[in-house]
Amino acid sequence: MGDPMGGWSLTVALCTMVVQARGGAQRAQRRDGERERKRFSALEREKDIKRERGQWRRGKEPNGDEASNDRERMALSGVLGEEEMIKGIRRRMEIERKRDGTLAGSAGIKKENEERDLGSDVLVHVRADLFVNARSWERARVALNTAGPLKLQCRYLRVEEISVSSIRTLLDLLPRQGLQGIDVRYSSLGVAGLAELLPLLSAFPALNSLRLHYCNLDFRRDHPGQEEALRDLSQGLAQLQELRRLSLTALRLPGQLRVLLSSLPQPLEIVELPYLSLSPADLAYLSCSHHASTLQQLDLSENRLDENTLPSIRRLLSQASSSLQHLSLSGCGLNDSLMALLLPSLGGCWALKSLALALNPLSMSGLMDLVRMAAQMPSLRQLLYPNPLEDYQPGLPDRPSSAQLLDWPLDETTDINMTSSQLNRVLIDSGRTDLFLTCDLLNYDKDLVD
Ligand SMILES: *[C@@H]1O[C@H](CO)[C@@H](O)[C@H](O)[C@H]1NC(C)=O
Ligand SMILES: *[C@@H]1O[C@H](CO)[C@@H](O)[C@H](O)[C@H]1NC(C)=O
């Protein structure tokens, strides 16, 4: 999963191995089958001899009632036991033929049947994180359908640019136990598509993480059926008993957060809602919700905050102050005066390990206040700070957006390192050697802290 380019090809390689292992097992089975066929003809011959003997004893043709009497006699003498064995062998050969057919054709025997028939053939359960996109989809489908010595299990499933019906097929094939998370990206689900998938997800008892990125879930009041679809969504989420992590990126669902999150049976520990156009009502709900006091990770980056929403953020931080370990408020439009209002709440988060505040329009003095506060936070190990406005080339708009802060060129003539050494001086003066300061947005990784 780490390498986004290699992810799908690793999945292809793994799935190929699962299918090949089955091929090897089949060749071995065919050799066994050959031996059984020989044994079968030997038994047939023996049966013929015995029947001839019986005829010779009675001197009659064995037909009609005679034949059934004959069978009864044979049963008494133990011959039927042999017949039944022969039937058993025939049945096994039929099953084998059917299995071969399954691999060649696309129609599969029902999965449950396969599991029952072949469950005992599994030698190794392969538990993997799978990355399924258009390139790995077919191979993953075949591998999940393959019952052989290697049984493919999935821990985290990531799907990219895959249709609702393909995701549905995939979920039908996945073993129920063991799936812990699903991550859907760049798939045009729509609200209705997601509502259709959620009941399938509730069949996975260990599922604790659901992440949706750019899944075209925009809520449009003017579209017919959207309210119902949203209700379905809420009911579907209510079925996810073990959900602890919910990530929704770049949805347009302003004002709908309550509908989505209030139905969840358990409080969430990880909430990621970047680029969500959260409304003041959404943030107010979140700060009073049953999730607030259990939050360990919160990402609200790229949601614009102002004087009206800041009280909700402050309430949220105070609720989460003893649990919150990772917080991102990058690109939230926090200027000096908003940051000054927020600092006491941030400082109260004594469990916080990482704090990301990139792409906020702070001046050098606002930034110094931030770092002085950070130096007092005992658990903090990483701070991603914004380039101060003074480090940009002239001409930056008055209230720059995060996109402008990202694209606007930094001033080459000022020593960029001066800001960094000035900030680090604060840390040295406070005796903090365990806190890492960086403005390198692209290489920042909060998970390095853990
Ligand atoms: C900070 O932003 C808020 C809202 O965006 C605005 O009202 C305030 O005047 C700004 N303060 C400064 C110092 O720019
Ligand atoms: C800035 O710092 C980096 C590493 O800390 C160093 O490689 C670079 O030469 C410095 N640049 C200037 C202009 O001092």
- The residue type found at 36 is E
The residue behind tokens 């390689």 is 13
What local confidence, expressed as pLDDT, does residue 307 receive? 94
Is 18 in a helix, a strand, or coil?
A: helix
Nearest Cα neighbor of 139 from 15, 14, 6, 5 is 15
Q: Which of 313, 329, 335 to mutate to test the pocket of ligand 1 (most atoms within 8 A of CB)?
A: 335
Q: Which ligand is nearest to the CA of 439?
A: 2
pTM: 0.77
Q: How far, in Å, CA of 335 to CA of 346, rounded?
A: 15
Task: Indicate which atom in ligand 2 lies nearest the CA of residue 415.
Answer: 13
The residue behind tokens 């359908």 is 145
Indicate if ligand 1 lies below 6 Å from the C-beta of 397: no
Strand partners, 337: none
Task: Indicate which atom in ligand 1 lies nearest the CA of residue 306.
Answer: 4
Ligand 2 centroid from CA 381, angstroms? 23
Kindly state the DSSP code that residue 109 receives in the 8-state scheme.
P
Q: How far, in Å, CA of 47 to CA of 62, rounded?
A: 14
Ligand 1 centroid from CA 335, angstroms? 6
Q: How far, in Å, CA of 161 to CA of 103, rounded?
A: 27
CA 156 to chain centre: 4
Between the alpha carbon of residue 409 and those of residues 15, 387, 406, 413, the distances in Å are: 46, 11, 8, 12
**What string of pLDDT tens digits covers the 450 residues of the chain?**
455 556 788 899 899 999 998 888 888 888 888 888 888 888 888 877 777 776 655 554 444 444 444 444 444 444 444 444 445 555 555 555 555 444 433 333 344 444 444 456 788 999 999 999 998 999 999 999 988 899 999 999 999 999 999 999 999 999 998 999 999 998 888 888 888 898 999 999 999 999 998 887 776 666 777 778 888 888 899 999 999 999 998 777 778 899 889 999 999 999 999 988 899 999 999 999 999 999 999 999 999 999 999 999 999 999 999 999 999 999 999 999 999 999 999 999 999 999 999 999 999 999 999 999 999 999 999 999 999 999 999 999 989 999 999 999 988 766 678 899 999 999 999 999 999 999 988 888 878 776
Q: Which two tokens stand for residue 202?
A: 């509730």
Indicate if ligand 1 lies below 6 Å from the C-beta of 365: no
Q: How far, in Å, CA of 389 to CA of 360, rounded?
A: 9
Between the alpha carbon of residue 227 and those of residues 172, 203, 223, 234, 276, the distances in Å are: 28, 25, 9, 11, 19
- The residue contributing the CA closest to ligand 2 atom 12 is 417
Nearest Cα neighbor of 425 from 389, 371, 352 is 371
Q: Which ligand is nearest to the CA of 418?
A: 2
> How many residues are recorded in the chain?
450
Q: Which two tokens stand for residue 327?
A: 């917080």
Angle 363-364-366 (CA atoms, 0-180°, nearest 5)?
Answer: 65
Residue 334 sits at φ, ψ, to 5 deg, of: -80, 110
Is 86 in a helix, a strand, or coil?
A: helix
Ligand 2 centroid from CA 417, angstroms? 6
Beginning with the edge strand found earlier in the chain, give each strand of the sheet holding 150-160 in spatial order.
124-132, 150-160, 181-185, 209-213, 245-249, 270-272, 297-299, 326-328, 354-356, 382-384, 436-438
User: Would you state the torsion angle of the CA atoms of residues 433, 437, 440, 445, taken in this order, to the nearest 10 degrees?
Assistant: 70
User: Would you state the torsion angle of the CA atoms of residues 405, 408, 414, 415, taken in this order, to the nearest 10 degrees?
Assistant: 60
Residue 46 sits at φ, ψ, to 5 deg, of: -60, -40
Number of other residues whose CB lies within 10 A of the CB of residue 188: 13
- The residue contributing the CA closest to ligand 2 atom 5 is 417
Q: Which residues line ligand 2 (CB under 6 A)?
A: 415, 417
Indicate if ligand 1 lies below 6 Å from the C-beta of 227: no
278, 308 contact by CB (below 8 A)? no
Q: How far, in Å, CA of 328 to CA of 385, rounded?
A: 11
The contacts of residue 378 (CB under 8 Å, 6+ apart) are 350
Helices (H), 163-279: 164-173, 190-201, 226-238, 257-261
363, 336 contact by CB (below 8 A)? yes
Q: Which two tokens stand for residue 422?
A: 């000035």
What's the distance, Cα to Cα, between the start and end of the chain in Å?
18
- The residue contributing the CA closest to ligand 2 atom 11 is 417
226, 190 contact by CB (below 8 A)? no
377, 350 contact by CB (below 8 A)? yes
What local confidence, expressed as pLDDT, does residue 103 receive? 40
The contacts of residue 90 (CB under 8 Å, 6+ apart) are 40
User: Would you state the torsion angle of the CA atoms of residues 99, 105, 107, 113, taken in this order, to the nearest 10 degrees?
Assistant: 10
